[in-house]
Amino acid sequence: MTVRVAGVKLGLGGWIKCKTTVGYGTGLGWGFCARGKGELNIGKFCAIGENVRVITSNHVMIRLALSYRLQIKIVGRSFDGPKKGVIIGHDVWIGDQVIILPGVSIGNGAIIGAGSVLTKSVEPYSVVVGNPARMIRKRFSEATAEIVEDLAWWDWPEEKMLKLKHLFANNPQAINWQDPNL
């Protein structure tokens, strides 16, 4: 079973336990999990794999006991760490079993390799992999990345996307961006 809400797809077994905004056209794979006291903001047209974990806050390390349950039992409440939140830009591809930790921001057009652990923010149009994740390359040249960013195609109506489908069918680095028909 898959849940669809206003153009968003949440796969089977997924659950969201924090304040979350998800952009149109984004798909969250089976077993997606988001939790914490911070906010999660996900852009438009993202492809998020299966069993991805997003954590928007963490335990406080300066207390005698780290267990929320014990804190509630003994003190009457739990102590949360800073609510750092997580931001995922537009057109981001996140592979299966990625873990995203509090305070991370992922730029537009980034690709996160399967099994990566993100402890730091990711630049737009970067490809990152590993534990901890590190950038292995950029998807586009800086000039092409700037053009794509300025286009902000994710905000276009679908009719415009269809009219300019050649932009989506070709390598952006090979397109003549000076063409007056754009």
Catalytic residue positions, numbered? 59
| Spatial CB neighbours of 170, under 8 Å, sequence gap ≥ 6 | none
| Residue 81, burial from CB neighbour count under 10 angstroms (0-12, 13-18, 19+) | middle
Give the largest CA-CA distance in the chain: 69
Taking a C-beta distance cutoff of 8 angstroms, is the pair 126, 107 a contact? yes
Q: Which residue has the tokens 């794979």?
A: 29
Residues comprising the chain, all counted: 182
